[in-house]
Amino acid sequence: MWRCGGVRWQQEGAYWVWWHPRHGRRTSPLRVGGPVGFALGPDAERLCGGVWRAGRRIPCAEEAVLDARARRDQCEPCAALDRSASVAADTVPGDPRPYAVYLASFGVGLHKVGITSAARGGLRLLEQAAVCSAFLGEGPLMTARRTEAVLGAALRLPDRVRDTAKRAARHQLPPTAERRAELAALYAEAAGLRDRLPEALRLRPFQYDDHTASFGLDADPPPSAPASAISELVPGGALVGTVTVAAGHDLVVDAPSGAVLLDTRLTCGWPLARSSSSPGAPFPSTPAPRSTPPPQPLF
């Protein structure tokens, strides 16, 4: 039985991941403006996805059943095994690969600093649903970590932004020129701290990367903000509609009942069946949080 592994990104766009206990891994495209339709059978269970290492899956030893509202696709023992070889968890400080330090923007005044392996390029920004971004520089892993810490303290930049803030901001974006100017000012502030940054950091010239087209946020008129958000997937439920926004792990789907938000992390571990017309009830949902006025620019 094929199970969903959620949504991932490549430079060409988003795609669905699927895994099977014997046949391994496969993918299928996900296109903004394209259809989405899936359903769950009445006896469906959501199972832990195990751990992936070097493209190979280590099955969950317990075949654990996951809670329908969980935002991760692993049970606690598998998550602990995953963290044992994780750059994000600082368990591999000797990683020899070069790392890049980036500045990401999710809307007016909503920024963060982060690091990613230089080889991954902008994929990390697409995964995080950054509306626009710029790379500051690159160097060894611990150099990148130190730079991240200095910028966080000096410019009050967080290393993460809550999903709720990202979702509210992406539907009330200013024009491209304003987004670029705000990020350029932030880059200038960061580069101006050169004497406080590690010597091993190699600065990059400012280059603005805009990701709105990849997410479907450049449409005219802009896509509608969702009125509701799916809270969990349940056996017997279904979702059918058209994808209007795909940003990070979020989809906005134009469904028969209106625009609905799907956090695709909720799909991981479920045996989703293809559906072109709704054979069951819609999945449970809650009203989406109302958008608040964007914060004032930092600069």
Interatomic CA distance for residues 25 and 75, integer angstroms: 19
How high is the pLDDT of residue 251?
98
| Mean pLDDT confidence for 280-297 | 72
Tokens matching residue 212: 């709105």
Say if residues 142 and 93 touch (Cβ distance below 8 Å): yes
Per-residue exposure over 25-46, b if at least 16 CB sit within 10 Å of its own CB, e if not? eeeeebebeeebbbbbeeebbb
pLDDT for residue 65 is more than 50 = yes
What's the predicted TM-score (pTM) here? 0.91
What pairs with residue 282 in β-bridges? 238
DSSP letters of 101-143?
EEEEEEETTEEEEEEEEGGGTTHHHHHTT-SEEEEEEEE-HHH
pLDDT of residue 298 exceeding 50? no
Scanning the chain, the segments in alpha helix (DSSP H) are 76-83, 123-127, 141-155, 163-170, 176-191, 212-215
Give residue 277's Cα distance to chain centre: 28
Give Cα 71 to chain centroid, integer Å. Answer: 12
How many C-beta neighbours within 10 Å does residue 77 have? 14
What's the angle, vertex CA 79, arms to CA 78 and CA 81, rounded to 5?
65
Residue 299 confidence class, pLDDT cut points 50, 70, 90: very low
pLDDT tens-digit series, residues 258-270? 999 999 999 999 9
Mean pLDDT of the region 139-145: 95
